[in-house]
Amino acid sequence: MSRYERQYARLLDAQDELAPYREEFYLQEGTIYLDGNSLGLLSKRAEQALFDILQAWKTYGIDGWTSGNDPWFYLSESLGEKMASIVGGKPEEVIVTGSTTVNLHQLVATFYEPKGKRTKILADELTFPSDIYALKSQLKLKGYDPEKHLVLVKSKDGRTIDEADIIAAMTDEIALIVLPSVLYRSGQLLDMKTLTEEAHKRGIMIGFDLCHSVGAIPHQLHDWDVDFAFWCNYKYLNAGPGSVAALYVHETHFGREVGLSGWFGSKKEKQFDMELELAQAAHAGAFQIGTPHILSTAPLIGSLSLFCEVGIEKIRQKSLALTRYMMELVEHELAGYGFTIGNPTDDAQRGGHVYLEHPEAARICKALKAEGVIPDFRKPNGIRLAPVALYNTFEDVWQTVQILKQMMKEGRHKQFDNERGVVA
């Protein structure tokens, strides 16, 4: 049997121990969903968790804060404990709160302490732009010019960042480092352990944006001695559009005064004393600001139960197998059609998606959608395809490449303009 036949893909699916979890998700008939690195699909458990929270509100009213199966007053902490195994943190080091950028603001406001010649923040030019906006804003708030005090490591190829270049930029002028775990376009996975070690050798604190890695790859944040991290939960963790995010703070920083204080950062037993002096929580909960968005947090209860049941190591193994298979098919089936694989091919350097480059990427993505394949376009010429371990199959991957091949062969993509939509 040829590796490039549908039957081979079906054989791989028959051997896949995670295959039954596909039934946990709402999949649209006739559609292959490959945009889980932007927004994960709804699971039946996430849906039920939201219904359960609504029922608690209906039943208990305000007493839902302390009653029911998932009391709202402790929900951020209890979910942080469950999520800790996914990111390799201690239970008290993780809290579900805020949004990605709000959490970044909170963390930078806390950990960016310019002193003497150490006044600069180090990042990279390929990171998600919202992180750069936040870093520039924090520099301005401290009275510094972002043009001079935000150091961006350059990319040599426009796709990846050389870790040696990041380390070389860790000068004695750097006060803080904020980097992505996985570059959102190319899917490059940075070596967080080594980068953290190198930063700490130079007396620099370092944090990571895990938006494109959490739920797709294992982390060992505590053991790697990472100072802080932050992430969204609506991509690989499937917690729903705009779901509440999360953050991690290493226990060595417990007790540090947070940069942006709010009443939900209180010690629980003191919060309703309503004193004018904040009794700050002695764990990651201190980094909360305002009242949690319970309805936007609820789906994560169900979603996390899937990840705790399956285990992140098994998810990573299947994710790598899916992306490896997709790259193999692309190289064999799409040769001569102008596609370039822009993501790292080494398993140790690749996140959860495949990144194809093509001069007509925008119209190709539109054509794929018309054919029932949901990709993600990234300006100027990128097509992100994320076969997700819990609900995509090897046959999905095979069929996607076949659709793409036939579409290019017949030129069906030419009927679409080569410009992105308002939402890419």
Q: List, by residue number, the catalytic residues.
A: 128, 209, 234-235, 384
Is 212 within any annotated ligand binding site?
A: yes
Q: Contact 145/121 with Cβ under 8 angstroms?
A: no
Q: Is 394 labelled as part of a ligand binding site?
A: no
Spatial distance between the Cα atoms of 230 and 107, rounded to a whole number of angstroms: 9
Which bin fits 419, alpha (ψ -120 to 50), beta or left (φ > 0)? Answer: beta
Could you tell me where the beta strands, DSSP code E, fall in 24-93?
32-33
- Check whether 8 is labelled as a binding-site residue: no
Query: Which class for 123: exposed (0-12), middle (13-18), buried (19 or more C-beta within 10 A)?
Result: buried
Cis geometry, peptide bond prior to residue 380 (ω within 30 degrees of 0): yes
Among 35, 82, 83, which Cα is nearest to 214's?
83
Angstrom distance (rounded) from CA 50 to CA 343 = 36
380 annotated ligand-binding residue: no
Check whether 346 is labelled as a binding-site residue.
no
Q: Is there a contact between 167 and 193 (Cβ–Cβ < 8 Å)?
A: no
13 is in an annotated binding site: no
- Residue found under tokens 């959860």: 352
70 is in an annotated binding site: no
Q: Check the annotation: does 213 bind a ligand.
A: no
Rounded Cα gap, residues 264 and 253, in angstroms: 18
Which strand (E) or helix (H) includes residue 244?
none
Q: Which residues of 175-185 are buried (b: 16+ CB within 10 A; e: fewer)?
A: bbbbbbbbbbb
CA distance 306 to 312: 10
* Annotated binding-site residue? 319: no
Binding site annotation covers 128? yes
C-alpha 290/C-alpha 375 separation (Å) is: 35
Gap between the Cα atoms of 424 and 309, Å rounded: 33
Question: Is 291 among the annotated ligand-binding positions?
Answer: yes
Q: Specify the 3-state DSSP secondary structure of 177.
A: strand
Binding-site annotation: residue ranges for pyridoxal 5'-phosphate: 100-101, 128-131, 209, 212, 234, 263, 291
Binding-site annotation: residue ranges: 100-101, 128-131, 209, 212, 234, 263, 291
